[in-house]
């Protein structure tokens, strides 16, 4: 191979230059198609059938096995489900926050044809609220009657 002064990548003997670009373009196109069709399919059956009754649990009333899993995951944002004895538990956490004063609120919990949908929001400290400079790990756990459907976190 002759050096031309331009470095565009390594050419492997027997390989053509355009194949690498073609393969990369094909991968990007396939990924885009998968994402676009996945979003369309997800939105088709998301019409709300009914609001679900639920209870927000205190941290000491969460089932022990689920509590241990949450403890492992709490440093980063997480979305977890757990089923036990005819009950469904859904947890969403927002990872480490720099101070005290953060809380998580459930804004919606409803059933669609295919899923149970939950929407939560993280609220920060109120203006003027006294906070401490210590890491906190806000999350919420809800309990509801078990439903044999996937859970969608919005």
- Pick 29 or 56 by higher pLDDT: 56
pLDDT at 134: 96
Given a cut of 60, whether residue 113 has pLDDT beyond it is: yes
In the chain, domain spans: 16-45, 50-153
pLDDT at 90: 98
Given a cut of 70, whether residue 23 has pLDDT beyond it is: no
- pLDDT tens-digit profile of 59-75? 999 999 999 999 999 99
The DSSP string of 50-95 is EE---EEPPGGGS-HHHHHHHHHHTTSEEEEEEEETTEEEEEEEE-
d(CA 152, CA 105): 16
d(CA 150, CA 114): 7
Average pLDDT over residues 15-21: 51
* Prediction pTM value: 0.71
Average pLDDT over residues 94-116: 97
Average pLDDT over residues 108-121: 97
d(CA 116, CA 109): 7
- pLDDT tens-digit profile of 126-147? 999 999 999 999 999 999 999 9
Q: Which residue has the tokens 């403890």?
A: 71
Q: What is the CA radius of gyration of the chain?
A: 24
pLDDT at 27: 54
Given a cut of 60, whether residue 11 has pLDDT beyond it is: no
């Amino acid at each position: 191979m002759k050096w031309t002064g331009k470095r565009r990548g390594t050419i492997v003997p027997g390989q053509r230059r355009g194949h690498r670009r073609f393969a990369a373009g094909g991968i990007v196109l396939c990924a885009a198609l998968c994402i676009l069709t996945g979003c369309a399919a997800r939105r088709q059956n998301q019409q709300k059938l009914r609001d679900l009754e639920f209870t927000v649990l205190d941290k000491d009333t969460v089932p022990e096995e689920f509590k241990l899993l949450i403890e492992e995951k709490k440093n980063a944002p997480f979305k977890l489900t757990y089923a036990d004895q005819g009950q469904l538990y859904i947890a969403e956490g927002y990872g480490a926050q720099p101070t005290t004063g953060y809380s998580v609120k459930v804004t919606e919990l409803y059933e669609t044809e295919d899923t149970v949908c939950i929407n939560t929001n993280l609220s920060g400290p109120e203006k003027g609220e006294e906070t401490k400079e210590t890491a906190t790990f806000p999350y919420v756990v809800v309990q509801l009657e078990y439903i044999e459907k996937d859970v969608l976190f919005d």
